[in-house]
A and B are shown apart, each in its own frame.
Chain A
Amino acid sequence: MSSAHDEHGGHGAHGDAPEGPVVLSVSDRHPRVRTIQVVRPGQADTTFLAAGAKGLGITIKHFARNLFLPLRKIAARSRAGAPDLVGQGNEIETVQYPEEKVTYPERFRGLHRLMLREDGAVRCVACMCCPTVCPAHCITIIPEESENPGIEKRPAVFEIDELRCVVCGLCVEACPCDAIRMDTGDHAKPVEDRANAIETKESMMARGIRSIAKQGGEGPNWRSHAHEPPPDGGNH
């Protein structure tokens, strides 16, 4: 058994007769640099009858299986290389999108949302970090004075043009207040009018929930709070 044969995945590792390629000469510089005899299909094989019949067998098997067996569940289909298909239905991988959706990974960046305070007001303090960092200049914030004397500013207008957004997630990283997130697991919806692609403060707040993060962050002493449990026990 030659070593080259094993490297190629080695079919039939047992047996007396060597099954590897016929070595014509070996280089004196390195044992793996060799001249081997290349086996080309003879005249009898050029009709490809046997190979063609084998291929037809494979396609017939797939066709019959996909025609007669029921569709697998979406979870089994969306997972590439499901371990064992036997007994689960056919082998079709297609996800019929609008009706069926695959679950995205946890860190998938999708449509924006604005998080809320305890009283349901917007968490955003109009610090202008996100429009500053945004490489696509798709965020428009017009600040106004907050009614709450403890809060300096709030956005009067908070608009994101989803057509310009490059979904980079820098706005989320820049936000000091956990006010903007992209974890909706949803896409920007297709629209027929460009104006409709602009997400407003209201539409993004409608998707928002209350955040457990401390408003304004932990400040310079964040290390001392890092291991404390969140005030509401982590429910949000």
Chain B
Amino acid sequence: MSLLYAILDFPATKWLFLVLALVMPLASLLTWAERRQSAMMQDRLGPNRANIGPVKLKGILHFVADALKMIFKEDFVPANVHKGLFALAPILALAPVLIAFAIIPFGPTIYPHALGSSLDTYQLATNPGAPEFADSIRMQMFSIDFGLIFYFAVLTLANYGGTIAGWASYNKWALLGGLRSSSQMMSYEVAMGLALMGAFLVTGTLEPGAIAAHGATEFMSPAHPLNWLWLWQPVGLVLFFTAAIAETKRAPFDIPEGEPEIIGYFVEYSGMRWGIFFLAEFIEIVFISAVVATVFFGGWQVPFLDGDGFRIGGYLDPVKHISVGGSFTPLPHAVVVTLQFLAFGAKVVLLAMFQLLVRWTLPRFRADQLMNLGWKLLLPLSLANIMATALVKLVYYITTGS
């Protein structure tokens, strides 16, 4: 049995189950959700007719139809394009996003031998070598200390996809679109990274799993919503979310693509090659939602649900591991894990829907407004956020000595 768990805990297996089997369908579903949601925001119905026989599901099957259509479309490669780079660009756009998911904690650590009963957190803290904790499955592919840095480093590579697509297309407008993409990314990457540094100062770690589980104090467990960083880093949240939307290259920051009129870097692409750009964009939406959920909204934490059950009002004594005050409802480990996994999914979906809402509400920024916003507003604000956070942290350290 432990071999099975070792296989399940292997990063490639987790990537298969979490990214290929979970994120990819979610991103594909978002293509349908976007059209449906935007329609409803505009008092229309949206695509609701795709069906297999009588199975209609409110039109969810449209994403299957779209995928089939794009796969079977002609794969047209214009003359004079740089064949190698032209083929490489969509992969360069897609691969980094899929790799970056390695740092996202999709759920808590699962202890397969303890699934049936309530998790003994005292035993886990004092005697982690006990037989019931012998096997564990982390719902995170790579738990690395420089997790968020890894994310910045890898996701920046995705930008090469757009720029190279513009260069390889042998098309002036595509090239200009690729350049716009580069300049936009440069303007927002800095603010985006700095916006998360406040979170780093508060939690003292860059590992997303640890950020999601941070905040265990004497009186509040990490599952308490007031412990999540949306309360402690509101400015960081707004700044990061703004910059992240710019990173996905969607309205109101869709200058690189400019689908209707200014023509973006993938104008020469058709069929599934274009579809990969499109898919990468939607996977990026899921990824941004996952990062925001993890860093600012407690990741997989369900409000008031600790590892062993619901604890409302009271708290878990961090030393003795007993409930103090409040009401405590013990739950089996399996139920807790399922709830937390679903909570993460719900947070991601809600944040993705919010991104769709923004995309269909705000008009596109002009290039100069974009640069103004990035360099003159987001960057100074994120620096000020870091300074303020550090100052509060320093004062807290001086007064309490911890």
By a beta-carbon cutoff of 8 Å, the part of chain A in contact with chain B is: 46-48, 52, 55-56, 58-60, 62-63, 66-67, 91-94, 96
Contact = CB atoms under 8 A, between A and B. Distances in A.
Contact of B42 (A55, A56, A62, A67): A62
A47 B377 contact: yes
A96 B45 CA distance: 9
Given A46-B369, A46-B372, A66-B40, A59 B361 contact: yes
A55 B41 CA distance: 11
B45 A92 contact: yes
B45 A56 contact: no
Given A46-B369, A52-B362, A66 B357 contact: no
A46 B375 CA distance: 13
A59 B356 CA distance: 11
B276 to A, nearest CB: 29
Interface string B346-376: 0000000000011011100000010011000
The listed residue with most A CB atoms (<10 A of its CB), out of B37, B358, B360, B361, is B361
Contacts of A63: 37, 40-41, 357
16 contacts: A46-B369, A46-B373, A55-B361, A56-B358, A56-B361, A59-B357, A59-B361, A62-B40, A62-B42, A66-B40, A91-B43, A92-B43, A92-B44, A93-B43, A94-B45, A96-B45
Which 8 pairs of residues, A with B, have the shortest CB-CB distance? Answer: A94-B45, A66-B40, A59-B361, A59-B41, A63-B41, A91-B43, A55-B361, A62-B41
Contacts of B37: 63
Contacts of B361: 52, 55-56, 58-59
Contacts of A92: 40, 43-45
A93 B44 CA distance: 6
Contact of B40 (A48, A58, A67): A67
A52 B360 CA distance: 11
Q: Is the interface of B mostly helix, strand, loop or mixed?
A: helix
If over half of A's interface residues share one DSSP class (helix, strand or loop), that class is named, otherwise mixed; here it is helix
B128 to A, nearest CB: 46
A62 B43 contact: yes
A67 B372 CA distance: 36
Interface string B36-51: 0100111111000000
Contacts of A59: 41, 357, 360-361
Contacts of A58: 361
B32 to A, nearest CB: 15
Nearest to A71: B45
Contacts of B45: 92, 94, 96
Contacts of A46: 369, 372-373
A63 B361 CA distance: 11
Nearest to A52: B362
Contacts of B360: 59
B43 A47 contact: no
A92 B41 CA distance: 9
B246 to A, nearest CB: 13
Contacts of A48: 362
A66 B361 CA distance: 16
A40 B37 CA distance: 34
A93 B369 CA distance: 35
Nearest to B373: A47
Given A62-B41, A62-B43, A67-B40, 19 more contacts: A46-B369, A46-B372, A47-B373, A48-B362, A52-B361, A56-B362, A58-B361, A59-B41, A59-B357, A60-B357, A62-B42, A63-B40, A63-B41, A66-B40, A66-B41, A92-B40, A92-B44, A92-B45, A96-B45
